[in-house]
Amino acid sequence: MKMSKMFIQTLREFPSDAEVISHKMLGRAGFIKKLAPGIYTYQPLMWKVLKKIENIVREEMDNAGAQELLMPFVQPKELWEESGRWEVYGKELMRLKDRHDRDMCLGPTHEEIITSVARDGLKSYKQLPVNLYQIQSKFRDEIRPRYGLLRGREFIMKDAYSFDIDEAGLDKEYENMAKAYKRIFERCGLDTKMVQSDSGAIGGSVSHEFMVITDTDAGENDVFYCNDCDYSANSNHAISNLPDAVVDGKEYFNETKIIDTPNTHSIEELSKFLNIPSTLILKTLVYIVDKKPVLALIRADKAVEETKLMNAVGGIDIRIASAAEIAELMAEKGFDAVPGFIGPNSMKGVKIIADETVKDMKNFVVGINQTDKHLIGANLEDLGAKFDYTDIRLVERGELCPQCGKPLQVTKGIEVGNIFKLGTKYSKPMNAVYTDINGKTHPYVMGCYGIGISRTAAAAVEAHYDEHGIKWPIAIAPYHVVIVPVNIKDELQMKVANEMYDALKSAGIEVVLDDRDERAGVKFKDADLIGFPYRVTVGKTINEGFVEFKVRETDEQEKYTPEQATEKLIKNIKAVL
Ligand code: ATP
Ligand code: MG
């Protein structure tokens, strides 16, 4: 491709709304153009990158035995009613009506559609197992679209769905997909960690996420992992062992009584006032889960993990209660306590979830719904409330690995893929069944497997860049090489540049010739910004028979003859493809 003919718009500045590296770089290098929040045009350079990622995904999915299909993007309400998700899927589901006033939605994911495809086509055990996938734009009306392609509203996803006769079949396919995912991300030049993750409110299910580990703000997930064993998990699913702590207050309190604790609104104020460690305080937090108040009890030196709490309640939406909502709850129960003094006593009819840290607490301090007062020397039986113990605790750095007991590490991660054991979550309600050898019917046992194609491209930029621009891994770079003649009016420079261009092209290398009538500095800047893995400069040294060869990833520069440079490029690039 000749640069003078390419549709490229590099900018002097980063887009004004860009907060993270990949959004800044892809915007400034002209890979993406925003149309509306979270909705982008993939310009020609971007589309080349996306097609390369798609092809790697296709090859590995096909190799793993999956078959590609393409399902409709616009979906009718009826199927979503069959699965029960029309009511519960929130505002992320973009709903619309057709001209006949029928309810439709834009596909955010395709479990319902694929299950209906399967139930019409997979009738007998003899046809199973099957794994079907597609690569397609999805639409999710994200509450906070941001970070460019990392969290768009319209984005490209590969979604695969497997159908097996039993759990053992699913387990095998799950392993198969995990291996395929590992290869896919490796081939894309990405280092990923496969981590345990939350699987929503469906008990017993298993899911793993593939995380690109990053130290930038773009990592929206906290990943806990152990350096001494293979444990790793998203914070929404991570568990840990706690170091020993003082959880029996017998040395501080020799009776159980209500005392004045004026102005102790925070745990810090209360523990200072009583001169006790915060491990002797039972903290009560008020959340709103699916519009209803829920009390979460936890040892006060620890924090609640909201996804865990939401799952413990079996909800799909959670947030901390506002001051007004807490006041309303207090009034309803006949109290007037302000936050800081809330407790689980006399909270009949309100769901209470206690973290496992509460179980061992003795002679502790707890709010009793009276402002400026606490109960000291309290024990669980004094609370007059019933609750189950569940792990709802947020793991913190330095706590101990649940597998080997060594301190856990934490880092940020970008979720690029997710694999999930669905079981019969969709096949059962949608009556999607196969007939076994005895003529009996059973729902399929399903798995689903997603990869964010556009997010993977952005994650690759987060992992490969410097202050000058992108450093594309060769396998997904829009082009492999840029040839820069320093002076396009110099006959020898242009002759050598053109010869190298032709030789590389005929060897199957994707090469750009920067034949623009621009200063060399401008061309070099654009080359670095766009992120070509290799740059060949044909300048004055060609009079001595040499071109300059630069590797973008390492900044390594060498002088070669044009023939040596061509040979080296072909060898290096073919080794990766
Ligand atoms: P997240 O937790 O980041 O919102 P998710 O877990 O809801 O994502 P999945 O339903 O697991 O997403 O979708 C499969 C894959 O699609 C994700 O692993 C991710 O790579 C990609 N993806 C999901 N939402 C978006 C988005 N808004 N923009 C770009 N890619 C996305
Ligand atoms: Mg996910």
Residue that is written with structure tokens 């639409």 in the block:
139
pLDDT in tens, 135-173: 999 999 999 999 999 999 999 999 999 999 999 999 999
Residue nearest to atom 19 of ligand 1 (CA): 452
Residue 204, pLDDT above cutoff 60:
no
Ligand with the closest atom to the CA of 453: 1
pLDDT band at 357 (very low <50, low <70, confident <90, very high): very high
The pLDDT-based confidence of 90 (bands split at 50, 70, 90) is confident
DSSP track, 68-134: E----SEEEHHHHHHHTHHHHS-TTS-EEE-TT--EEEE-S--HHHHHHHHHHH--BGGG--EEEEE
Q: Residue 329 — pLDDT band, cuts 50, 70, 90?
A: very high
Measured CA to CA, the distance from residue 202 to residue 208 in angstroms comes to: 14
How many whole angstroms from 178 Cα to the centroid of ligand 2?
14
CA of 452 to the centre of ligand 1 (A): 6
pLDDT range class, residue 199, cuts 50, 70, 90: confident
CB burial readout 393-432, b (16+ within 10 A) else e: bbbbeebbbbeeeeebebbbbbbbbbbbbbbbbbbbbbeb
pLDDT in tens, 403-430: 999 999 999 999 999 999 999 999 999 9
**pLDDT averaged over the chain?**
95
State the sign of the Cα–Cα–Cα–Cα dihedral 168, 170, 176, 178: negative
**What is the average pLDDT across 175-198?**
97
Give CA–CA dist 296/315, Å, rounded: 14
The amino acid that residue 539 corresponds to is: G
Name the phi and psi angles at 288, rounded to 5: -115, 115
CA atoms within 13 A on the CB side of 454: 28
Give the separation between CA 567 and CA 577, rounded to whole angstroms. Answer: 16
Question: What's the pLDDT at 315?
Answer: 87
Q: What is the pLDDT of residue 203?
A: 44
Which pTM was predicted?
0.93
Domains, the chain: 18-239+410-462 (3.30.930.10), 257-390 (3.90.960.10), 479-576 (3.40.50.800)
| Alpha carbon nearest to ligand 1 atom 26, residue | 151
Which pair of structure tokens corresponds to residue 150? 């990392």
Q: Which residue(s) pair with 158 in the sheet? A: 135, 451
Ligand 1: lining residues by beta carbon, under 6 Å: 109, 140, 142, 151-152, 155, 157, 415-418, 450, 452, 454-455
Does pLDDT of 201 surpass 70?
Answer: no
Residue to mutate (ligand 1; options 42, 157, 211, 425; most atoms within 8 A of CB):
157
Q: Do residues 548 and 557 touch, judged by C-beta distance below 8 A?
A: yes
CA atoms within 13 A on the CB side of 393: 23
The confidence score (pLDDT) of residue 303 equals 97
pLDDT digits (tens, 9 = 90+) for 264-296: 999 999 999 999 999 999 999 999 998 999 999
Which residue's alpha carbon is at the smallest distance from atom 6 of ligand 1?
Answer: 418
| Rounded distance between C-alpha atoms, residue 32 and residue 52, angstroms | 16
**Cα separation of 228 and 131, whole Å?**
35
Taking only Cα atoms into account, the Rg of the chain, rounded to an integer number of angstroms, comes to: 29
Ligand located closest to 108 CA: 1
Would the pLDDT of 71 be above 80? yes
Count of H-run helices and E-run strands, the chain: 14, 31
- Contact of 299 with 247, CB cutoff 8 Å: yes
The answer to whether the CB of 290 falls within 8 A of the CB of 351 is: no
Please enumerate in sequence order all residues whose Cβ is within 8 A of that of 100, keeping only pairs 6 or more positions apart, or say none. none
Specify the pLDDT at position 202.
45
pLDDT, residue 387, reads: 81
Kindly give the distance from the C-alpha atom of residue 175 to the centroid of ligand 2, in angstroms, as a whole number. Answer: 17
User: Could you tell me the two tokens for 291?
Assistant: 């519009």
pLDDT given for residue 200 in this prediction? 65
- 157 C-alpha vs ligand 2 centroid, how far in Å? 11
Residue 388 has what pLDDT? 82
**Which of 92, 415, 456 has most ligand 1 atoms within 8 Å of its beta carbon, as the pocket-test mutant?**
415
Range 520-524 average pLDDT: 96
C-alpha distances in angstroms, 130 versus 123, 183, 361, 447? 12, 21, 51, 11
Q: Which of 194, 455, 462, when mutated, tests ligand 1's pocket best, judged by the most ligand atoms within 8 Å of its CB?
A: 455
Reported as a single tens digit per residue, the pLDDT across 476-521 is 999 999 999 999 999 999 999 999 999 999 999 999 999 999 999 9
Distance CA 268, CA 518 (A): 63
pLDDT value, residue 572: 96
- Residue 124's Cβ-side half-sphere holds a number of Cα atoms within 13 Å equal to 5
At 294, which amino acid appears? Answer: V
- Cα separation, 280 vs 251, in Å, equals 11
Three-state SS for 229? coil
Q: Note whether 382 and 363 are within 8 A (CB).
A: no
Does residue 523 surpass a pLDDT of 90? yes
Cross-strand pairs, 248: 362
